[in-house]
Structure 1
Amino acid sequence: MNEIDIQLPVMADDIHTSLDITQGAPIPKLKRLETFDEDTWEDITLELVHHWKTQYQKVVRCGGGGDLGRDVIAYTPNEAWENFQCKYYAKSLTLDEAIREVGKLIYYSYKGEYSVPIKYYFVSPKGVTTQLLNHLMDSEKLKDELIKRWDKQCRTKITAKHKIELDTDLLSYIDSSIDFKIFDHIPPLEIIELHSQTTYHVIRFGASTRKRPKAIAPPSTLEASELTYTSELLLAFGDAEKKDVSNINLTTFPEYEQEFHSARRNYYSADGLEKFSRDWLPYDCYKELLDECYETISPVVMSDHKDGYARYLKVSAQAAGTNYSSHPLHHYIKVQDKKGLCHHLVNGKKVKWVK
């Protein structure tokens, strides 16, 4: 028997937070979507409308029993419309269930209640069955199946008032007016992607599903975005030494050189935090974090200090001890970020080390 050495698993190259340790591995979004009940799915439908409203001229929801086979209606600029049939089912949406909904659309458009939409999407948290998917991908197959199943799925189930016979006139209408290519579905993964573009996403799926990448190392040469805060830091060094300290002679001051490189790492750490927050939090979230940092350090900045470097050290210590427990990024903020926020404030001309 050959013995094979067992290698240790490779850890993901992400920052592990306290949230990861206390809650364990996050529930995949697709699994979480499957746990929602009917009431929660209705709420998510409304939250999706918030996203769709940014894509269409107008979006409305038909509520109650009088929706006539329509759920969420999205109007395009040329007044055409698309239908999002957002239904909750305990299992994947079946062909029979879809046939009933298609039958409603055909019947009520035939009666003149509304025009035929240019697209019709089934939106369900469990997705669609393989059988239904195969029919949605083949419009002629879907049409044939509708006709075949009409008596069982549509004749008595569209309205309780009367039976709807698939007579010659209705068949002619289906042949001449219904393009079965309009029928499609939105897969669960795409539902999650659409929902991620709303401000409700973190509340539904949790911040623990986000993995913050490790900060990049500062480049060997200063970037243009670094000139302000690094110049201010060099002035603080010079203020302490009562002589000019620059990039040219910085190596002659080992303590300052070490702090200079540390400051650059902290700056890039906070920069990475900002980029990380852009993808899933409101655009002003990082600005709010900067504002909170400023309110924390401003009394120390305004106090008297023997020189600019002493001010810098006191402010850095104050910033490092700040608890941002009320901020959405709380679990992702490291000490390096807290110090780096100060350099971002310097870049924004809100803080100076040397008065």
Structure 2
Amino acid sequence: MSDQTLTPQSGLLEPPLVLKGPGMQFPYMPSPKKIVFGYDPNEFEEFVKEWVPALESEYVRVERLGGTGDHGIDVAAYRSAQGLEGPWDNYQCKRYKNALNWSTAAGEIRKMFVGVVLGHFVLPTQYVFVAPAFARGLRDALAKPTQTRAKFVAELAETSDEIITRLTAEQHQAVVQMAEQTDFAMFVPVDMDQMLEQHKTTVHWVTRFPDVQRERPAVMLPPDEPGPEEARYVQQLMRVYAERWKADAETLQLIAQHPTAGDHMRRQREAFYSAESLQRFARDAYPDGHFNAVMDDVHAIAVEVSDRRFELGWDRLQAVLEAAGVMALTETVLARYVRPLDRKGVCHHLANDGRLQWCEEGEVE
């Protein structure tokens, strides 16, 4: 058959009309690296402060000290309660339009040695230069600590840097001696890609950058017997079954043998543990409060449904579960991971917390 059609007006064959929908368009989202490159110096220091705790679990405290009178410390990471008087690491933040070079880095190193000589702090264990980009000359210098120390000491005799020239002769000599005795392997650069990967493990990542799709762990399966952490919502379910089926479903053993209640109890416990899995995933991947936000969303609708007049607790429970399955959730980074089974499980978490109740007569203790 021809790909053309005959029109009454002309009698000529024309190509058939093809309807095309508009192309899918998505807003451009800059990469995390580009976002960081756009930070001003203050915001860059705050970003570094968020990142540092991801490096060393032994840090007891991390402080941002950058500003007037910081003596060359932007972010200090303390390894003991003694702070700057004990072992600590210095994270020197340099956010410039151009790559950080040796000349600028050497000035910061001089400032650090002077700070030690003047008694502002003890020599840090490690001095980390943090910058979006490093000049090749600086990277080469930091990779050769012995040669770089000799170069630095030679420059001390010729520098016009005021932080050195305003020292007394005795102080100047103390700076030279300290530099000569210091292992320059303590001065290291940090790679921006590595920084971002490590920052991703912190709770601050989702507040700064577009969230990436994460792999949610497998859903937890309920143990054979309900544990103490399930007591309240399981008791509520038992009351529902006893109200509907009387003596045929008054104990867990009878419920397990019941043709309807047993299977229903199994599904509800699976839902509870599905929501528990979501809660643990949210706790590990995102800042506090995301799972609670889902709980609050479900509760806002479920409580209104629960307050209606029902003949049996079974009817109330089923109505609430159905409503939870179709309700809209607030668009948060966690919402995309919420499954239908999680919604049911959240209802049982709410019952476990005493925020929902299925049967009207009396509360479950």
Give 1:194-213 correspondences, 5 Å limit: 195-196=199-200, 199-213=203-217
Asked whether the equivalents of residues 51 and 194 of structure 1 are also in contact (C-alpha less than 8 Å), the reply is yes
What stretches of structure 2 of length at least 5 have no aligned partner?
A: 1-23, 361-365
Displacement of 1:301 after TM fit?
1.8
1:262 matches 2:267: yes
Task: Tell me the secondary structure at the aligned position of residue 282 of structure 1.
Answer: coil
Corresponding residue number in structure 1 for 2:177 = 175
Asked whether the equivalents of residues 52 and 59 of structure 1 are also in contact (C-alpha less than 8 Å), the reply is no
Asked whether the equivalents of residues 241 and 261 of structure 2 are also in contact (C-alpha less than 8 Å), the reply is yes
Superposed CA deviations along residues 120-151 of structure 1, whole A, max 9, x for unmatched, are: 2212234x578756755664343124235668
Asked whether the equivalents of residues 83 and 117 of structure 1 are also in contact (C-alpha less than 8 Å), the reply is no
Mapped partners of 2:81, 2:188: distance in 1? 21
Identity level (%):
21
> What is the TM-score of this pair, normalised by structure 1?
0.72
Displacement of 1:324 after TM fit?
1.3
Query: Kindly tell me: are residues 275 and 59 of structure 1, through their superposed partners in 2, closer, same or farther at Cα, counting changes over 3 Å?
Result: same
Query: Kindly tell me: are residues 250 and 58 of structure 1, through their superposed partners in 2, closer, same or farther at Cα, counting changes over 3 Å?
Result: closer
Corresponding residue number in structure 2 for 1:72 = 75
Give 1:132-143 correspondences, 5 Å limit: 136=142, 139-143=145-149
Asked whether the equivalents of residues 155 and 164 of structure 1 are also in contact (C-alpha less than 8 Å), the reply is no
Mapped partners of 1:109, 1:247: distance in 2? 70
Q: Pick from 144, 147, 151 the counterpart of residue 153 of structure 2.
A: 147
1:322 matches 2:322: no
Asked whether the equivalents of residues 46 and 64 of structure 2 are also in contact (C-alpha less than 8 Å), the reply is no
Corresponding residue number in structure 2 for 1:345 = 350
Mapped partners of 1:141, 1:171: distance in 2? 20
Mapped partners of 2:264, 2:41: distance in 1? 52
Superposed CA deviations along residues 88-117 of structure 1, whole A, max 9, x for unmatched, are: 25676555553343234335656x484553
Task: Tell me the secondary structure at the aligned position of residue 306 of structure 1.
Answer: coil
Query: Kindly tell me: are residues 294 and 273 of structure 1, through their superposed partners in 2, closer, same or farther at Cα, counting changes over 3 Å?
Result: same
Equivalent residues, number: 323
Query: Kindly tell me: are residues 52 and 92 of structure 1, through their superposed partners in 2, closer, same or farther at Cα, counting changes over 3 Å?
Result: same
Task: Tell me the secondary structure at the aligned position of residue 254 of structure 1.
Answer: coil
Mapped partners of 2:77, 2:123: distance in 1? 10
Mapped partners of 1:108, 1:216: distance in 2? 54
Asked whether the equivalents of residues 114 and 164 of structure 2 are also in contact (C-alpha less than 8 Å), the reply is no
Asked whether the equivalents of residues 41 and 125 of structure 1 are also in contact (C-alpha less than 8 Å), the reply is no
Corresponding residue number in structure 1 for 2:46 = 46
CA RMSD of aligned residues (A): 4.1
Letter paired with 2:37:
D
Mapped partners of 2:256, 2:89: distance in 1? 66
> What is the TM-score of this pair, normalised by structure 2?
0.70
Task: Tell me the secondary structure at the aligned position of residue 247 of structure 2.
Answer: coil
Query: Kindly tell me: are residues 60 and 213 of structure 1, through their superposed partners in 2, closer, same or farther at Cα, counting changes over 3 Å?
Result: closer
Q: Pick from 238, 242, 267 the counterpart of residue 238 of structure 1.
A: 242
Query: Kindly tell me: are residues 170 and 315 of structure 1, through their superposed partners in 2, closer, same or farther at Cα, counting changes over 3 Å?
Result: same
Superposed CA deviations along residues 11-40 of structure 1, whole A, max 9, x for unmatched, are: xxxxxxxxxx998xx99xxx6235532425
Mapped partners of 2:136, 2:242: distance in 1? 71
Displacement of 1:222 after TM fit?
3.4
Superposed CA deviations along residues 147-198 of structure 1, whole A, max 9, x for unmatched, are: 35668xx835x45x99899x99846632346623543444446634664576
Task: Tell me the secondary structure at the aligned position of residue 207 of structure 1.
Answer: coil
Displacement of 1:200 after TM fit?
3.3
Task: Tell me the secondary structure at the aligned position of residue 39 of structure 1.
Answer: coil
Letter paired with 2:322:
A
Asked whether the equivalents of residues 50 and 198 of structure 1 are also in contact (C-alpha less than 8 Å), the reply is yes
Mapped partners of 1:251, 1:176: distance in 2? 76
Asked whether the equivalents of residues 153 and 176 of structure 2 are also in contact (C-alpha less than 8 Å), the reply is no
Give 1:214-225 correspondences, 5 Å limit: 214-225=218-229
Greater CA drift, 289-298 or 267-276: 289-298
Asked whether the equivalents of residues 325 and 343 of structure 2 are also in contact (C-alpha less than 8 Å), the reply is yes
Query: Kindly tell me: are residues 258 and 40 of structure 1, through their superposed partners in 2, closer, same or farther at Cα, counting changes over 3 Å?
Result: farther
> With CA pairs under 8 Å and 6+ residues apart, which has the higher RCO, 1 or 2?
1
Superposed CA deviations along residues 186-241 of structure 1, whole A, max 9, x for unmatched, are: 44466346645765320222332533223133334434433432332233123222
Query: Kindly tell me: are residues 237 and 188 of structure 1, through their superposed partners in 2, closer, same or farther at Cα, counting changes over 3 Å?
Result: same
Task: Tell me the secondary structure at the aligned position of residue 253 of structure 2.
Answer: coil
Query: Kindly tell me: are residues 322 and 140 of structure 1, through their superposed partners in 2, closer, same or farther at Cα, counting changes over 3 Å?
Result: same
Mapped partners of 2:325, 2:285: distance in 1? 25
Corresponding residue number in structure 1 for 2:292 = 287
Query: Kindly tell me: are residues 113 and 226 of structure 1, through their superposed partners in 2, closer, same or farther at Cα, counting changes over 3 Å?
Result: closer
